[in-house]
Amino acid sequence: MEQPYAIEMLNITKRFPGIVANDNITLQLKRGEIHALLGENGAGKSTLMSVLFGLYQPEEGVIKKDGQVVQIKDPNDANALGIGMVHQHFKLVECFSILDNIILGVEPCKNGFLQIDEIHPEYWLAHHEPSKGKKFPPIQKVLKPGQEVLVQVVKEPTGNKGAFLTTWLSLAGRFLVLTPGQEQIGVSRKVDSDEERTRLREMMNGIDPGQGLGVIVRTVSAGTTKTTLKNDLQYLKRVWKDIRKKATEVSAPALIYQEPGLPQRAVRDYLTDDVCEIWVDNEEVADSIRETVSLLFPRKKELVRLHTDVRMPLWERFSLRRQLDQIYSREVTLPSGGRLVFDQTEALMAVDINSGKISGKVNFESMAHRTNMEAAEAIARQLKLRDIGGQVVIDFIEMRDKKHVLEVEKTLRTAMKNDRARHDVGRMSSFGLLELVRQRTGSSALSITMEPCPFCGGTGQRRNLEWQALQALREMRRALRTHGGDKYVFETTRELGLYLLNHKRDSLRDMEQDFGKCLEISIRP
């Protein structure tokens, strides 16, 4: 039985005032076919496709999909049927690929993960005791299908893993983090001074966050005043009020609140009293940063500087190009000549320390200690710049002196203190391996900017020419069996073609004799 057409446009007529754009047009497409519509400007090509996509309604005719008549009233109906359209150039999203433009609006999405321990008790339908040996009851006893909950994305989706969600919400301000549903007052663990921690806690004890609200004092609050903390708290409470109001006005699923953009977050999180200038090469971004600075630091409005020299990019002006390139490089050079080598696996990031040029030139123990000390500081910095999250295994150069081992561990921990992401640094093993875990705050720089090599599949290796040649010979032999002509042309790359002609000429000659056909190697342009 013949398969029905995938798409049929039967007797389509579309009229506009004073003109017939499509006059009784029939177009039938089978699955897997690719067609081109040719015609002059104004012939009605775009109009016909717009009818198929639901942008226009035809006066006459029907549209079928897989043999069934369908009603396409608008592009949403078309998308639901799996019909996409790449519009003319002025309607394209330029930074998107052709495929991205086709599926725009119906992009494949990943489900988020909401674990039972991330569900606030206020959403529980009823109290359930956990089973013996369990800390929480099954999630199906706590929530019901279709129940609406307010969630926050804790971790962005990475690779094949969806986003991690929580109902324990938190709103970050300049100096405070508001925690609705958690009536607590805490101080960041990164505030090292006991005196400062006590001072901040005493100030917050005199500030009432409100019923059902908690507060965590951020590290940047060290040295600030009570009035500043109050103002930041009032701002966060207004944000939370707006979130609650909007949550009652929209139907799920819906985006209720989104953190400010990267420039605003950078100012909020990193602007301190010791910052003298903020350079920006975009006037619009500069204006938004000025607005943020004026809200947070009214006395520092003049911090923002606009870079306008078209002859010298901002990165070159401050010699940042080399540092930026290092972020995306597999290797990072150390001051003494050693190297860091970063290799990402599915489970972890492996960092290997190589002595490089200095190997064998000095006392080994002294060399290992010096290189490892430099590596410890560089690794802490690279983890932040690359935004590497999850498990990290560092292969230090083996040291026999325990004092040197302790010094390297201390250097790494000290360098990691400047990292805002939560982390836990382990101890170095007898083999020189050290494990640490760093909070995954988003997609890493490499995952955002890199893609697997189409030849090696992301392994960094490919089949050698001998293997490729054997596969090519096998393919040629299979094709010669079914090829009906006197001559068979095998198209391949220049590299493989030359290898076949130089190293497999006898095999090619034997195949010509076996099948009685002429075999030609053609190099692709």
Q: What's the CA gap between 91 and 346, in Å, rounded? A: 39
Region for residue 50 given its phi and psi (left: phi exceeds 0; alpha: psi -120 to 50; beta: otherwise): alpha
Residue 266 sits in which domain range?
262-317
Same-domain check for residues 355 and 403: yes
Contacts of 138 (CB under 8 A, 6+ apart): 116, 131
Q: Is residue 252 part of a domain?
A: no
* Domains: count for the chain: 4
Which residues lie across from 339 on neighbouring strands?
333, 354
Q: Is residue 512 part of a domain?
A: yes
Same-domain check for residues 356 and 407: yes
pTM (2 decimals)? 0.57
Q: What's the CA gap between 193 and 518, in Å, rounded? A: 84
Same-domain check for residues 364 and 311: no
Tens of each residue's pLDDT in the chain, 525 residues: 567 789 999 999 999 888 899 999 999 998 888 888 888 888 889 899 999 999 899 999 999 998 899 999 888 888 888 888 877 656 666 666 667 776 666 666 667 888 888 888 888 887 777 777 778 888 888 888 888 889 998 887 776 677 889 999 999 888 899 999 888 888 888 787 888 888 888 888 888 888 889 899 988 788 888 888 888 898 889 889 999 899 888 888 888 888 888 888 888 777 777 788 889 888 888 888 888 887 777 777 688 888 888 778 887 888 887 777 778 888 888 988 889 999 888 788 999 998 865 555 458 888 889 999 999 999 999 998 888 888 999 999 989 899 999 999 999 999 998 887 888 999 999 888 999 999 876 677 777 777 777 777 777 777 888 989 999 998 998 888 888 888 999 999 999 999 999 899 999 999 899 888 899 999 887
Instruction: Tell which residue, 369, 305, 374, 308, has the closest CA to residue 335.
Output: 374
Same-domain check for residues 361 and 291: no
Q: What's the CA gap between 314 and 38, in Å, rounded? A: 47
**Triad 123, 114, 127: Cα angle to 5°:** 30
- Per the structure block, which two tokens stand in for 140? 């199906």
Same-domain check for residues 266 and 358: no
For 258-314, give the secondary structure using H, E and C: CCCCHHHHHHHHHCCCCCCCEEECCHHHHHHHHHHHHHHCHHHHHHEEECCCCCCCH
Give the CATH number of the domain where residue 508 resides: 3.40.1260.20
Q: Is residue 293 part of a domain?
A: yes
Q: Cα dihedral sign for 307, 311, 314, 319?
A: negative
Same-domain check for residues 385 and 272: no
Same-domain check for residues 414 and 394: yes
DSSP class of residue 90 equals G
